[in-house]
C-alpha cells in the first residue's frame, strides 16, 4: 500500500539543476529562452541528416531546437546571476554550461547582457544615471 503523502503528490517536482562550479542548487531568475536554428549546419550538429536539415530550413525560416534553451540562474554560493545554456538529456537530467556568445544570436526576446553594440559609451553611461540632473553632463563636455 502506498503512503498517503506519495499518493496525493500531484505538483511537479523541482528541476534538479545544480551549479557546475559549487554543486549547490540553482534558482531560476528568468524564463526559458528557446534556441532557434536558421542554418542547416546547426541542425546537423544536433544529429539531423544533411538532407533533412536542408529541407527543414527550406520549409521554415527558423526551426525550434527542442530540449535546449538559455536561462538565468542565481547561485547562492557565488551570490551572482549567470546565464546558462541548458540541455535536457533523455534520462530527465540537465547538462548546463555558461552561455557562449554565439548562442545569443540564436535566441529571440532576450536582451544581450553586454548591451547593444550600436549604442555609444556616452548614451550607455547616461542611461544608467538615476538623477534628473543628467542634462548637466552635456554642458561638461
Show the CA angle centred on residue 74, arms to residues 73 and 80, nearest 5°: 120
Mean pLDDT of 92-115: 79
What pTM was estimated for this model as a whole? 0.68
Residue in this structure with the C-alpha cell 546547426, named with its chain if needed: 42
Q: Are 11 and 66 in contact (CB under 8 A)?
A: no
C-alpha cell at 109: 526576446
pLDDT of 15 > 90? The answer is no
Q: Considering only residues 52 and 16, tell me which one the structure prediction assigns the higher pLDDT.
A: 52
Task: For 36-84, write each residue's pLDDT tens digit.
Answer: 888 899 899 988 999 999 999 899 888 888 899 999 999 888 888 999 9
Question: What is d(CA 97, CA 136) in angstroms, rounded to the nearest whole number?
Answer: 44
Write down the mean pLDDT value for the chain.
81
Mean pLDDT of 95-118: 78
- The mean pLDDT value for 118-122 works out to 81
Q: Quick check: 17 pLDDT over 70?
A: yes
Amino acid at each position: 500500500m502506498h503512503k498517503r503523502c506519495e499518493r496525493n503528490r500531484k505538483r511537479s517536482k523541482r528541476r534538479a539543476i545544480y551549479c557546475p562550479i559549487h554543486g549547490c542548487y540553482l534558482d531560476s531568475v528568468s524564463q526559458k529562452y528557446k534556441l532557434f536554428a536558421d542554418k542547416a549546419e546547426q541542425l546537423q550538429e544536433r544529429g539531423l541528416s544533411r538532407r533533412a536539415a536542408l529541407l527543414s530550413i527550406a520549409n521554415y525560416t527558423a526551426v525550434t531546437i527542442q530540449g535546449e534553451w538559455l536561462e538565468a540562474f542565481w547561485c547562492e554560493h557565488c551570490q551572482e546571476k549567470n546565464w546558462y545554456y541548458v540541455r535536457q538529456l533523455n534520462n530527465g537530467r540537465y547538462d548546463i554550461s555558461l552561455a557562449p556568445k554565439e548562442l545569443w544570436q540564436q535566441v529571440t526576446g532576450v536582451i544581450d547582457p553586454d548591451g547593444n553594440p550600436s549604442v555609444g559609451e556616452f548614451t550607455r553611461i547616461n542611461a544608467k544615471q538615476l538623477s534628473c540632473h543628467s542634462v548637466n553632463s552635456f554642458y561638461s563636455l
